[in-house]
Amino acid sequence: MGIDRDQHKVDNVLAGRAPFYEPGLQDLVRENVAAGRLSASASADGIADCSVVMVCVGTPSEKNGNLGLAQLRRAMEEIAEQLSPRSKPLIIAIRSTVFPGTTEEVVLPALAGRKQLSVVSNPEFLREGSAVQDFMEPSLLVVGGSEETAVREVADLYAPLGVSACLVSLRTAEMIKYACNAFHAVKISFANEVGALSERLGIDAQEVMNTLCQDVKLNVSPAYLKPGFAFGGSCLPKDLRALIYRVHALDLKLPLLESALPSNEQHLRRAIDAVLDLEAKRIGVIGLAFKENTDDLRESPVVSLLEQLIGKGHAVRVFDPHIRMDAIYGSNRNFILESIPHISRLLASLEQILTWADHLVLAQKQSAETMQCIHASGLPLMALVNGTLGNPAAGGAKFSQW
C-alpha cells in the first residue's frame, strides 16, 4: 500500500497509472494494481495492518542548504497515531535521505514509548531515468540499525533481487547515502575540470579520461578510498603544485583540483591537533617516511607532526624500520636535515620506544610482527593510518574518529 497526502497521486495509482514518468514504471503499476498487489490511499489507517512501513517522504533543501524535515516529522506523527491500539511488531524503515543522526533525533523521539517497534535506515540509491532498473539490479543495498532481527528482516525483503545487503549501524547507513552522492559529484567535477584543462591545452579529454579508467587497480578501484593520514611523498604534492601553477597561468579556475592540497593540509592539521591533545609526556611515533616500505622522507606528513610536537615542548622518539641516517643521501637527506636537523637524536629502536614512551602514535602501517610487539606493550595507541586499530584496552582508536 502506498500512502500519500496527494490525492492526485493516489487516484493515478488506483487507476493503474504511474503518477510521474519513469521508464518501465507505468507497466509495473498497471500490472500490480490489476493483480491486487498494489494499492494506494491518502489515509494512514492501513498502517495498523502492516509489518513494515517504508518512509519515503521528501527532504527538500531549505534556503540555508539544510534539509527540510517537515514531511518526515508529519509522517512520524501520522504513524504514531496509528500505533496506539496496535499490539503486533512493526518495523519502520527510513528510506528518505536524512543527515546522520536524524533518525535518532527526529524519528525515535516521535515514536517514544511505543512497544514492539523497531526503526532501521534503508537508504535508496535510485537514479531518476533508470530507477526501475536500479531497483531490480541494485549496485548497493544498505540496511542499518541496532536491532539485528529488524535489520535482517528488512534486508530479506530484497532477497529475490539476488544482492547481498550491507548490514551496518544506523548512522553509518545514513552517512553512506551522503558519501555516495558526494563521491558521484566529485567524480563528475573532476572529469569536467580535467576536460576543461585538456581542451585549453588542445588535448582530447575523452582520450585522457578513457585511458585513466583503464587502470582498475589504482584509478577506478577501492585504492585510496580509506580514511587515514594525510598524503605526502615526492609525487602527489609536487605534481599538484605544478598542475595548479599551470592552470593559473592559463587563466583557468578549477576549484576541485585547487582544493586538493589545502584539503590535505587541513587533514594533517586535524591529526596534529589530535596528537597535541594527548595527555602524555613522552610520545613514541611509529613511522617516519611518507608511507610504509620506503625510506623516502620528502614531504612526509610525519615530519610536520614531529616539528609541531617538538615545538610544543613534547619529548618525542621515532621508530621507522627502514630509516638509517647513514644510508640516506641526496635530496632525501637534504630535506630531512633542513626540516629536522636533529633527527638522528630522535631515532630509536622499537624496543627502546616501547620501554620509554607513555603513549604511541602510529603514523605508518607496520608489519604484523611489529604490531604484535606494540599491542603486547600495553601502551595506549593512537592510529593515524587507515586499516590499523589501536589497542582497544588502552583506549586506542582510528584517526577517522577525529
Residue 52 burial class via C-beta count within 10 angstroms: exposed 0-12, middle 13-18, buried 19 and up: middle
- Low-confidence residues of the chain: pLDDT under 70: 85-86, 325-337, 339-341, 387-402
Residue 113: per-residue pLDDT: 79
Q: CB of 252 within 8 A of CB of 244?
A: no
Alpha-carbon Rg of the chain, whole angstroms?
A: 27
Residue 221: per-residue pLDDT: 94
Residue 48: per-residue pLDDT: 78
Q: Name the average pLDDT for the chain.
A: 90
Residue 336: per-residue pLDDT: 67
CA–CA separation, 6 and 136 (whole Å): 26
Task: Go through 169-203 and write b for each residue having 16 or more CB atoms within 10 A of its CB, e for each that does not.
Answer: ebbebbbbbeeeeeeeeeeeebbebbbbbbeeeee
In order, the DSSP letters of 292-356 are TT----TT-HHHHHHHHHHHTT-EEEEE-TT--GGG--HHHHHHHHHH-TTHHHHB--HHHHHHH
- Residue percentage of the chain with pLDDT more than 90: 75
Q: Which of 50, 166, 213, 235 is catalytic?
A: 235
Which residues, in sequence order, are CB contacts of 298 under 8 Å at separation 6+?
232, 233, 234, 290, 331, 332, 335
Which residues, in sequence order, are CB contacts of 229 under 8 Å at separation 6+?
267, 268, 271, 301, 363, 364, 384, 385, 386, 399
Residue 346: per-residue pLDDT: 87
Distance (Å) of CA 90 to CA 42, 294, 333: 20, 55, 66
Which residues, in sequence order, are CB contacts of 226 under 8 Å at separation 6+?
386, 387
One-letter amino acid at 48 equals A
Task: State residue 317 phi and psi, 5-degree precision.
Answer: -130, 150
Q: CB of 132 within 8 A of CB of 24?
A: yes
Active site residue 373: no
